[in-house]
Structure 1
Amino acid sequence: MIWLTWRQFRTQATVAAGALAVLAIYLVILGNQMRHAYADDIVGCLADACTAARRDFEEAYGVPVALAGALLLGVPALIGVFWGAPLITRELEEKTDRMVWNQSVTRTRWLAVKLTLLTLASMAVTGLYSLLLTWSAGRYDQLAGGRFAAMTFAARNLVPIGYAAFAFLLGATIGLLVRRTLPAMALTLAVFAVVQIVLPITVRQHLMTPVTTTVRLDVEAMGRSDFMGVGPDGARIDGYTMPGAWSLTTTSKLYNADGTPYTAAQTEQCHGSNQQEDMACTAAQNIHFSYTYHPADRYWRFQWTELAVFGGLSLALAAFCLLRIRRYSS
C-alpha cells in the first residue's frame, strides 16, 4: 500500500518539492537581506534617525513579507483542493474503486494508509515553509511587532501545520461525501476559506480568558496610541497597544482619578504650542482608562492551543472517513 500510494502521489510530491525549493531560495535571500539592513540601519541608530530608518525598513520589506505570508495561508487550501478532494473521487470517477476495494487489502486499510501518509506529507510541506518564513521574517516581525495580528499569527511557527492537516482531511471527507471531483474541490475551498476567516474574528480570542486592567495615561501610553480626542460622551483614546500584547480594546473612554469622565474642558487646559509640554501636562492630570488584552507571553500558548484544536478536528475527520468508507457503496 505504501508503494502504491507513492506511485499515485509522486507527481504531486515532485511539484511540491520543486515549489518548496524555489521558495526556500527566495526566503533565504530575503531573510539575509533583512538581517543585513537591520544590522546596518536599525541597530545603534541615533534617536532622530531611528524613526525614519524603521519606516524605510518597513516600506522596503513589508510587501514581500506580506506576500510570502499570504502564500503560506494559501498552501493548506491548495493541499485540501488538489490533494484531499480528489483522493477518493478520482477512484470513483475512474471506476478503479471496484478493483482496489475488492482486493486482499480492505478499503479501511487502503484509506488509512493514504490518509496517514498524505497527511504527514501535507504537514511536512507546510511546516517547512512555515519554518523558512518564520526565520526569514524574523527581523521584520521583531521591528513591526504584531505577532498576534491575524495574518501574521496564522503564517508563523506551528499553526500552519494544523491548517494543512485539517485542509487535507477536509478535502478527503468532502470528496467521500460528494463523490465528484470538481464539486468536492469547490466545496473544500469554500469551507476552508470560511474557517480561516471566521476563526481569527470570532474564536481565537476566546481560546483563553482575556485580561482587563486599568492603564494610567502617561507619556508612554500616549506614545503607544493612535489618537486622543473628545466626543459627545467625553474624551477617548484610540489604538493603545501594550508592548507585544494582543489588544482587544480599540477605543477607551478616559476617566479622572475619582472615576468621573475626563471632559473637554480639562483637555483645553493642556492645549499649547509645544506637543511635548502638552503631553506632560495631560499625564500630570492623572487620567486612566480600561484596557482588555492578551499578554505577550501567551503567544506560544495560543499557538499550541490552536494547533491542538485543528489536530483534534483532523482526527475527527479521519475517523469519520474510516467509519464511512466501511459502509460505502459505489
Structure 2
Amino acid sequence: MTTLSHSPRHGPTRAVLRLHRVPLWVWTVLVIAGAGGLTWLYALGQEAASYGACGGTGMPECATEMRYWGSEHQSAKLLAWLPCGIAACAGAVLTGRELEHGTATLAWTQSVSPARWLAAKLAVPVVALLGGTTALTLMFRWVWGAGPDGGVNRWNSEYFHAAGSVGPAYVLLGLALGAPAALLTRRTLPAMGLALAGIGLAYHLGDRFRSSLWPASEVRGPWDSALNHVDQLEFGMIMESGERVSGLDCSDQAAPGDLGTCLSDHGAVDFYARIHPTSHYWPIQLVETGIALALAAAAVAAAFWVLRRRLP
C-alpha cells in the first residue's frame, strides 16, 4: 500500500494562501469593483463623446463631460496610489506579522527553509497584486482612449502611473520594500511605515527626475495648441547672440502682429522650448519601469541578505 501526500514543494505557498485568504479576497473584490467602475466610466465617456464638443455652461452635455473628466481624474489618482500603498503594506504584513509572533521560527523547524518561507511570502502577493494592477491599468487606457479629450496632458503624474507600465512596476517595488523593512524591524507597524515612506520617496523621485531619463527635443517658434500635450521642460527666447534665456515670453502681447515687436524689445530673434514630445512617452515609461524593477530586485536581494544575517 502506498501513502499519497502533498508535495512539500508547495507547502509554503498553500500556507500563505490559507493564512492570508481574507486579504486576498479583499484585493480580489477591490479589483472587481475597480473593473466595474472603469466599465461604467467607459459608458459615461461614450455618452459624453456622442454629444460632441461642449457648447456652453449648464448644458446637459457639458454636465456629462465634466462628470466624466472628474471621475477619470479620480480613477487615475486611485490607480496611481492605492495599489502601491497596498503592496507596501502587504510586503510588510506578510513577513512582519510572523516574525513578530514567532511563527516564522516554527515554520523553519518544519522542514521549510527560511529562504523558501520568504520566497513564498513574496511570490503569492506578486501574482495577485501584479495581475490585478495590470488588468486595471489596461482597462484605464481603454477608458481614457475611448472618452472625450478633456485636455489632460498624458505627462500628468497620476495619468503617467495609471496608464503605463510604470504603475505595475511601482507596485512590485512597494511589495519588495516591505520585506526588508519587516526583517529589519521584526514588527508589523514600523515595517509598514518604512515601506510606505520608501514607496512615497520613490514616487516623488520618479516625478522629479522623469524628464531627465531621455534626451529632450527643442522646438522653435511661438507656443501653439499643438504643443499642449507635450512635457514642457523649458520655454524662452533665443537672443541675437544665440544664447537661450528661459522664462521670457510675450503673454501680454499675444496678437501675432505683436510677437515680432516683443522679440525685438528683448533683443531676441525667436522663441524656443525644450520638450518631451509624444514620441518620447513610451521610451521614458520603459526606462522608469526598468529602474523601478531594478530597485525592486535590489530590495528583494537585501531581504534575503538580512534574513541570512538574522537567522536564529
TM-score by length of 2: 0.82
Q: Given the alignment of the two structures, is residue 212 of structure 1 paired with residue 218 of structure 2, yes or no?
A: yes
- 1:20 aligned to 31, 35, 41, which one? 31
CA distance in 1 between partners of 2:119 and 2:148 (Å): 39
Aligned residues: 289
Helix, strand or coil for the counterpart of 2:236?
A: strand
Equivalence for 2:9? none
Query: Counterparts of 2:291 and 2:256 in 1: how far apart (Å)?
Result: 47
The letter of the residue matching 1:205 is S
The corresponding residue for 2:287 is 305
Is contact 2:214-2:283 (8 Å) kept?
A: no
Match of 2:6 in 1: none
What corresponds to 2:206 in structure 1? 199
* In structure 2, distance between residues paired with 1:52 and 1:280: 33
> What are the residue-to-residue correspondences of 1:176-191 with 2, within 5 Å?
176-191=183-198
Q: Which residue number corresponds to residue 75 of structure 2? A: 68
1:1-330 alignment runs, 5 A limit? 1-42=12-53, 49=55, 59-140=66-147, 142-201=149-208, 203-213=209-219, 215-217=220-222, 221=223, 223-224=224-225, 242-249=227-234, 251-253=235-237, 279-282=255-258, 288-330=270-312
Contact 2:48–2:68 (8 Å) recurs in 1: no
CA RMSD of aligned residues (A): 3.1
Contact 1:243 1:296 in 2 (8 A): no
Cα distance in 1 between the residues matched to 2:286 and 2:149: 21
Q: Do the aligned residues in 1 keep the contact of 2:181 with 2:195 (CA within 8 Å)? A: yes
**What is the CA-CA distance between 1:260 and the residue it aligns to?**
9.9
Q: Deviations over 1:96-123 (max 9, x none)?
A: 1221112222111121232122222221
What's the offset of the Cα at 1:62? 2.5
Question: Quick one: distance in 2 between partners of 1:80 and 1:105?
Answer: 25
Q: Call closer, same or farther: CA 1:165–1:6 in 2, change over 3 Å.
A: same
Conserved in 2, the CA contact under 8 Å of 1:141 and 1:147?
no
C-alpha displacement at 1:318, in angstroms?
1.2
Query: Structure 2 vs 1, CA of residues 55 and 322 (structure 1 numbering), >3 Å: closer, same or farther?
Result: same
Query: Which letter does structure 2 place at the counterpart of 1:9?
Result: H
Q: Please state how far the C-alpha of 1:253 moved relative to its aligned partner.
A: 3.5
- TM-score when scaled to structure 1? 0.77
Which stretches in structure 2 are left out of the alignment for 5+ residues?
A: 1-11, 264-268
- Contact 1:211/1:295 (8 A) holds in 2: yes
| CA pair 67-139 structure 1, distance change in 2 beyond 3 A | same
Shift of 1:142: 4.0
Counterpart of 1:234?
none
CA separation of 1:259 and 1:104: change in aligned 2, threshold 3 A: closer
Unaligned ranges ≥5, structure 1 = 225-240, 272-277
Q: Report deviation, 1:56.
A: 6.1
